[in-house]
Structure 1
Amino acid sequence: MPQPYSPDLRERVLVACQRGDLPQVEIARRFQVCPATVSNWRRQEREEGRRKPKPHSGGVPSRLDAAVLEVL
């Protein structure tokens, strides 16, 4: 699975978008991200007011109960 983009990269992309001197596609090319990623980050900022990624949800809980784990 690929690593998530750094919050610093997201912030730099959003600042470049706010400046408004380049089209979104050119900003994506300059920062080497997909144009859809730039669009998603802008939408999240606009609709949810967040500029940082959501925290990791913690993954899938174990299907083994505590008694089985103690035996192992």
Structure 2
Amino acid sequence: MNVLSPDEKGQPGLVPAALFSLCPRCGARSLIEGLAWFAPKCRKCGLDYAQFNVGDGPAAFLTMVIDALVVGL
């Protein structure tokens, strides 16, 4: 039996949240701002997205550059 806790009610599923950039708390389409920038907080429920920042932006960029060089060879 899959019973949701009060904290989980109203949250989007994992696949729709990932595909449509949904807020993990309320399900609003407010995770992305513009074409490629994360919003600082949810416009609907006010969830602060900064608490989820793990600081891997430079590492991801470096990985993309190295991948482009390897594929180009």
Higher RCO structure, 1 or 2 (CA under 8 Å, sep 6+): 1
Question: Do they fold alike, i.e. is TM over 0.5?
Answer: no
Report the structure number with the largest CA radius of gyration.
1
